Amino acid sequence: MEIILVVFSILTIVGAWAGWRRSPLYSAKITLQVVGYFLLIVAAMVGASLGILNGPISHSPAAQAILGGITILAVGIGATGLIIRATDAHVAQLPPSVRLVTIHRQKIQRWIWRLVVYLLISGVAALALPSSWSWLPLTLGILVLVGCGPMLMALYMRARRLDRGMTAVTAAPWVHWQYTPAQWEAWAKRQLEWERSHMSTFYWKRDWRKLRVAFIVFAVGAVFVPYRGVGEKTAVFAGCSALVALIASSVNWSNRAGCERHYQRLMRAPRESYFGDEGVFCNGEYSQWTFSGSYLLEATAPRDPSACVQLVFQNFNGTSSTKEIKRVPIPESGEANLAILQRKMREQCRTASVHLVAPA
């Protein structure tokens, strides 16, 4: 188990470094600053550990556990804030008269309240249970708090930047496109067809070879399971294989359902699009041009099957990276704005490939 955790930690660090190294915000100065913060965090953890283990409360395991949890939480939240302030230092500056939107922060605030409710339930359960069992809800509460605290801190700081960026874009856009109900409904249907044609599909006749490795692993594992009978070993192999086959068979249904959900969200979204210095608001969603782990990679203006601005964002998440495609419909009067968009996006996203109009 310890080896798995070490390998996972190493892969996470390597993935985070790869994402940061490719980010448009990367610089040697910021990297050295992050390294300095990391060394400061290590020093704080070592000092706190020595104080807890050898200090006045060393005779009380319960007090050590509580203080240790609080220390880990405080250091984790502080470290998260310092690293984000170093790697994503930019925050949109707004005039006092602008009303700040809070769409993204409200989502995080709901999770914060859920965490608070869970901690209250854990506290009440600890008081209600006998003293010999009160440690269980307290331990679970501390573990959830330590695990979720830094993550919620990171999400809240990101949500704050998204809210301020969205406010700046809608207050002073480069381009603002609006659509009639008929235009929007037609666009939503075309987008649904496009997503269906580009969704990942699994066909047994074509893709069954992709599962060969899993079946071989199950077969080898069935040989070494602690069962003596051939029938039991065969049942283990058949059960694992059937589960994988069921998951593979449900891929198409899940992807089609995802396309339908996105279509419903698109029909409920505001019928307008904004492009600005900070990012783009389209299809009811706001995307920042540049974050340390998410940034614009490519922008084009395909005409088939319908005219739109197609934006490709590169997103890094732990050990993996994905490309997210956002498509913005171009209204009849919007063709004249493409040259402005191309010039502004090239100025704002210097590492992105932006080609919205043909060269003169």
Q: Which residues partner with 316 through β-bridges?
A: 321
- Per residue in 275-289, pLDDT (tens digit) is 999 999 999 999 999
Q: Tokens for 134, please give them.
A: 């009160």
Inside any domain, residue 304: no
Residue 14 inside a domain? The answer is yes
Using pLDDT thresholds of 50, 70 and 90, give the confidence band for residue 55. Answer: confident
Which two three-digit tokens encode residue 160? 């704050």
The token duo for 249 is 């068979």
Same domain, 141 and 208: no
| Residues 96 and 184 reside in one and the same domain | no
Least trusted range by pLDDT, from 93-97, 132-136, 322-326: 132-136
Query: Do 226 and 143 reside in the same domain of the chain?
Result: no
| 80: in domain | yes
- How confident is the model over 165-222, as pLDDT tens digits? 999 999 999 999 999 999 999 999 999 999 988 888 877 778 777 777 777 777 777 7
Residues 107 and 147 in one domain: yes
When divided into structural domains, the chain yields a total of 2
Q: Would you say residue 348 lies in a domain?
A: no
Q: Answer whether residue 38 is part of any domain.
A: yes
Q: Are 254 and 161 in contact (CB under 8 A)?
A: no
Residue with tokens 């059960």: 239
Query: 140 and 6, same structural domain?
Result: yes
Same-domain pairing of 205 and 250: yes
* Residue 178, SS3 per DSSP: strand
Domain boundary among 171, 202, 231: 171
Same-domain check for residues 28 and 95: yes
Indicate the residue among 114, 142, 171 that finishes a domain: 171
The per-residue pLDDT for 193 is 92
Do 167 and 95 share a structural domain? Answer: yes
What confidence score (pLDDT) does residue 1 get? Answer: 42
pTM, two decimal places: 0.83
The verdict on 160 and 212 lying in the same domain is no
Query: By residue range, what is the domain housing residue 187?
Result: 180-270
Q: What is the separation, in whole angstroms, between the first and last Cα of the chain? A: 61
Q: 131 and 204: one domain?
A: no
Q: Which of 230, 245, 270 is the last residue of a domain?
A: 270
pLDDT of residue 267: 94
Quote the pLDDT of residue 2. Answer: 45
Considering the domain boundaries, does residue 347 fall inside one?
no
Query: How large is the average pLDDT for residues 227-250?
Result: 77
d(CA 206, CA 271): 40
The three-point CA angle 94-99-100 to 5° equals 70
Give long-range contacts, CB 8 A cutoff, 24+ apart: 84-88: 84/154, 84/157, 84/158, 85/157, 86/30, 86/33, 86/34, 86/37, 87/20, 87/23, 87/25, 87/30, 87/34, 87/292, 88/25, 88/157, 88/158, 88/161, 88/291, 88/292
Q: How confident is the model at residue 45 (pLDDT cuts 50, 70, 90)?
A: confident
User: What does the DSSP 8-state code read for residue 336?
Assistant: G
Answer whether residue 63 shows pLDDT above 60.
Answer: yes
Average pLDDT over the chain, rounded to whole?
Answer: 86
Looking at residue 202, its amino acid is F
Antiparallel, parallel or unpaired: β 175-178 and 294-300: unpaired
Question: 162 and 118, same structural domain?
Answer: yes
Residues 184, 147 share a domain? no
- Specify if 78 maps to a domain: yes
Q: Is residue 359 part of a domain?
A: no
